[in-house]
Structure 1
Amino acid sequence: MNLLIKSATIVDPNSPFHLQVTDILIENGVITEIGANLTSDAESFDATGKYLLPGFFDLNCNIGELGYETKEDLHSGTAAAAAGGFTGLALMPNTAKPVHSKAEVEYLVNKSKGSLVDVVPLGAISYKREGKDMAEMYDMYQSGARAFTDGNHPVQDAGLMERALLYAHGFNALIFSYPEDTAIAGKAKVNEGEVSTLLGMKGIPSLAEELMVARDLYLSEYTNSPIHFSTISTWRSVDLIRQARARGLKVTCDVAAHHLVLTDDALMGFDSLYKVKPPLRIQKDVDALIAGLKDGTIDAIVTQHTPHEVEYKNVEFEIAEYGIIGLQTAFSLALKAGLSIEMIAEKLSVNPRKIIGTPLICVAEDAYANFTVVDLQQDWEYTKDNNLSKSYNSPFIGQTLRGQVLLTCNNNQLFKS
């Protein structure tokens, strides 16, 4: 793949060309030259007024393989990822056959070879994600898993979480915690508050999340092991993690893009497309999440891409499945939340790779071309026609969003919107 990008503003804190407006020449998938007024016989792309960032990396993506291919398969999932500017995905083990042994990890690694998008499987902490017996984490690590989580099954057994932290730390792997105390959350479907009262629905209190954040922070401190919290959603969770970092704990965390722009007010119409977990919270929580991103407490933004067939979402709110698809909208939502392009590069490109431990990428000469080109001012309509996922469970389909991904490049392949 040969391409000459003209007059792009590079946004990459690891690059010597950070914030410079320059030309970039890519030959056979490698950046061979960066400078002014470059010429080449290669195809040219005018990026005047546009920004070139390292390719995005998603730390929380659900793709149906193995077993739920009708929701999403690797082909459709990586296509949607490329359209959203993502060149790397960490896949949650929430599949029909959980990713709890090296066989599933090796399948995903081998099946995804040759794709524009790099795929990193996340292995389960427990066998079958049942929260009882520890899974074969070291075998999975040897086969390509770089972190471990029970996905959307929170680990209720404190002893199991303690053992997992100690064991994974022994071979420099990372444990992801999805913080929810199921005894507190119960069978409720929405955030506990004024909206749940108005809707006449039992709510999930913020306490259900915050208790688990506090517990796992104590376990991380006790075992001297790093921990990563997935999709925190409340102001107190942000505050607990901020205090832990100030004490020197090795803790990182992320937030889902939709939690930065939506509150539980969106549920007033009982639209199941807004049914997610953690549930949409109140404006105080949204403000705290954005503040946490800006002060460095929250390290990354994730899509929490969760595809479902229409029959699982177009039903009564109480019985609808949780989750929305988010690979193609995460960048626009980050912009809508008021984040700068430099912060977006940090939270979507740089920090996720640091957390997961994959090689950092850099927009520099002689480096492999791994980037996305975006237009901050371009409006685009998200429709069923340009949605590349197999599923359509997004409340943003039919809406006009600002901030478009124009190009995504990786592994000597190019995606154009």
Structure 2
Amino acid sequence: MDNILISSAQLIVPGHPQNGNIVDILIEAGNISRIAPRIKPTNKQIHVIDGKGRIVSAGFFDLHANFGEPGLETKEDIITGTAAAAAGGYTGVAVYPNTNPPIHSRSEVALVVNSAKGNIVDVYPVGTISKRREGKELAELYDMRLAGAIAFSDGDHAVQQAGLMGRALLYAKGFEGLVISFPEDESVAGGHQMNEGQMSTYLGMKGKPNLAESLMVSRDLFLAEYNDARIHFTSISTAESVDLIKKAKAKGLNVTCDVAAHNLVYTDEEVVGFDSNFKVNPPLRTKKDIKALLKGLKEGTIDAVVSQHTPHEVEYKNVEFQIAKEGILGLQTTLPFLIEAGFTADDIVRYLAVQPRQVVGKDIPTVEVGSEANLVLFDMNERWMLDTNTNKSKSENSPVFGQELRGKVKVVINHGQLVEIK
């Protein structure tokens, strides 16, 4: 990588002495060598990047993304997944075990870790809680941790057995591992197509009630408290879940949670057109739920925003809504969704760069002289279109495909590598 000068960008790094200031950042041999209000290039070997009107911060970190590797590479592999991540401003992603085979032993963990070596985006596998994600027998959590697993979850298969979940929490506690709960009571949610409410009644489709999520949140909070263990809830979507977690935090429980970006901007009213790209799990909820989720973020109840990036081949989405697979692309659209939801640059850095790393115990990249450059440069106002030219994923299952979006990542720098997004 050539020496790089980012000029006239607003630095947003909480706690930094120059937080909020317009600065130039000089990067030499992959490390930050100087930060000043004005740096004049000393030779022609410096690649100058115009940061005027743009934000520079530590690279984003996604707590919940799905790649297809191993076994489902036709959906997404590590190369295309990390390309989409970089285009979305991410320098780190946690990938879930919704693969075939699942990431349920040290072999699969090692495969993902080794396949991602040398990439501009750091890839952290999330190992399963149970073998084969069947919810019957505890997987080899500690072995996976030693091989590089950052946390443990059964992905979109919620653990239905309370005893198994309790044992996972207790066992992971012994080596400071993190158990992630995808809260869904299948006996209540079974066979759902969308959110249960007026719209599902109007459309005549089986709905998933808020109760299916809040029941499981309540159960797992009880289990975490009983075992004095930490727990993280991913992709919460209801007002009831926010309230339960808020009370648990006030009580002193070691609990964190995240929300998917699309659940902050879309409601179940979008489903009226039967566009399968609005079919997600948890489903799109109501305006009341979105209001509670936004409030939960601002109050600190919700710790992070995730992409819940879930690519699918066209044959799984370009079908009737009832039989379509759940999930949408998210890595490249999380920033625009947060801008649409009304968040400031400071909010975005907090929910995408700082607090996600705190959840999994990863160091927040420092923007200091002498530190390795791990940066994102993004524009809050630039408009662009997600289409076949800009999409980096193998798949195209996004509700905003072909639409103009506001908020664009311009540059990602990490491990001495530079990606400029055109």
1:359 to 363, 368, 381: 363
Cα distance in 2 for partners of 1:59, 1:211 equals: 23
Matched, 1:396 2:397: no
Corresponding position of 1:13: 14
Cα distance in 1 for partners of 2:406, 2:196 equals: 31
2:322 to 318, 332, 335: 318
Amino acid in structure 2 at the alignment position of 1:276: V
Cα distance in 2 for partners of 1:21, 1:15 equals: 13
Matched, 1:286 2:290: yes
Whether contact under 8 Å (1:17, 1:364) holds in the other structure is no
Q: Give deviations 1:266-309, integer Å, cap 9, x for gaps.
A: 00011101000000000000111111111110000000000000
Q: Which runs of 4+ in 1 moved over 3 A?
A: none
Q: Give deviations 1:358-393, integer Å, cap 9, x for gaps.
A: 222121111111111111111111112210000000
Corresponding position of 2:409: 405
The root-mean-square deviation of aligned C-alpha atoms, in Å, is 0.7
Q: Normalising by structure 1, what TM-score?
A: 0.99
Corresponding position of 1:416: 420
Cα distance in 2 for partners of 1:37, 1:371 equals: 19
Cα distance in 1 for partners of 2:66, 2:150 equals: 16
**Unpaired segments of 5 or more residues in structure 1?**
none
User: Structure 1 residues 380-389 or 322-331, which shifts more?
Assistant: 380-389
Deviation at 1:14, TM superposition (A): 4.1
Deviation at 1:198, TM superposition (A): 0.8
Corresponding position of 1:218: 222
State the secondary structure of the residue aligned to 2:411: strand
Whether contact under 8 Å (1:116, 1:409) holds in the other structure is yes
Corresponding position of 2:372: 368
Corresponding position of 2:124: 120
State the secondary structure of the residue aligned to 1:401: strand
Q: Give deviations 1:96-155, integer Å, cap 9, x for gaps.
A: 101011111111111100100000000000000100000000000011112100000000
Task: Figure out how many residues of one structure are paired with residues of the other and give that number.
Answer: 417
Cα distance in 2 for partners of 1:301, 1:14 equals: 21
Corresponding position of 1:49: 53
Cα distance in 1 for partners of 2:356, 2:210 equals: 26
Corresponding position of 1:67: 71
Deviation at 1:37, TM superposition (A): 1.8
Whether contact under 8 Å (2:353, 2:364) holds in the other structure is no
1:189 to 173, 177, 193: 193
Q: Give deviations 1:166-192, integer Å, cap 9, x for gaps.
A: 000100110000000000001111100
Cα distance in 2 for partners of 1:395, 1:239 equals: 29
State the secondary structure of the residue aligned to 2:35: strand
Cα distance in 1 for partners of 2:146, 2:68 equals: 23
Corresponding position of 2:27: 26
Q: Normalising by structure 2, what TM-score?
A: 0.98
Deviation at 1:36, TM superposition (A): 2.1
Deviation at 1:15, TM superposition (A): 2.6
1:233 to 230, 233, 237: 237
User: What is the percent sequence identity of the aligned residues?
Assistant: 54
Matched, 1:328 2:332: yes
Whether contact under 8 Å (2:58, 2:364) holds in the other structure is no
Amino acid in structure 1 at the alignment position of 2:321: F
User: Structure 1 residues 60-69 or 378-387, which shifts more?
Assistant: 378-387
User: Structure 1 residues 13-22 or 232-241, which shifts more?
Assistant: 13-22
**Unpaired segments of 5 or more residues in structure 2?**
none
Corresponding position of 1:300: 304
Whether contact under 8 Å (1:102, 1:140) holds in the other structure is yes
State the secondary structure of the residue aligned to 1:89: strand
Cα distance in 2 for partners of 1:24, 1:263 equals: 41
